[in-house]
Structure 1
Amino acid sequence: MAGDAECGHPLPPCGLDGLPLLLVPARSPHLAPALPVFTSTDFAAHFTFGLRLLIEGLRATGPCPTPSPPPPPAGS
C-alpha cells in the first residue's frame, strides 16, 4: 500500500478494520475508548441511541414558549 507522505506511516487497509491503525491514543485519548462504538455495525442500536438522545435533548429544552401575537399593521 502507499505510504502517508505527512507522517511516513503505511496506510491501513480500507474499511473499518483499519481505523484502529490510524488512531494515535496519545493524541486522541477520548476517542480511543469510543472506537468500538464508532465501528459497530449494530445499526438498530445506533438508531435507538440517536433517537433517545434527540428526544431527551428536546425534553431538556422545556416547553415551547407561546408566541406573542403579531403587531397590528402600520397605520391602524
Structure 2
Amino acid sequence: MIVENESHSPVRRRSNIAHELGHHMLEHSFDTVILGEDHKRQFDQPQEKQATFMSGELRVPLAAAERMAYDGWDNERVAAPTG
C-alpha cells in the first residue's frame, strides 16, 4: 500500500508514487523500523538511492531523456503529461 499526501502537487505525488514503486520493483524489504527510538525516521541510504534512480527511470527513462535533449525539448515539455 502506498499512502500519498493529497495536499502535494500532482507532480510531486507522481514522483513520490514512482519512488515507492521503485522500492517494490527492486524488492526492497520493508521489515525495518520506520521510526527510531529518538522518533526520527530512519532510512537505508543505499535503498533510497536505488529507489530514487528507479523513480526517474519510471517517469522519464534515460534513453528517452537523451533523445528529448538532443531534440531540444525544454523541461516543461518533458514533464508535460501525455495521452
Q: Given the two structures, how large is their TM-score scaled by the length of structure 1?
A: 0.31
Greater relative contact order: 1 or 2 (C-alpha under 8 angstroms, separation 6 or more)? 2
Q: Given the two structures, how large is their TM-score scaled by the length of structure 2?
A: 0.29
Structure with more helix by fraction: 2
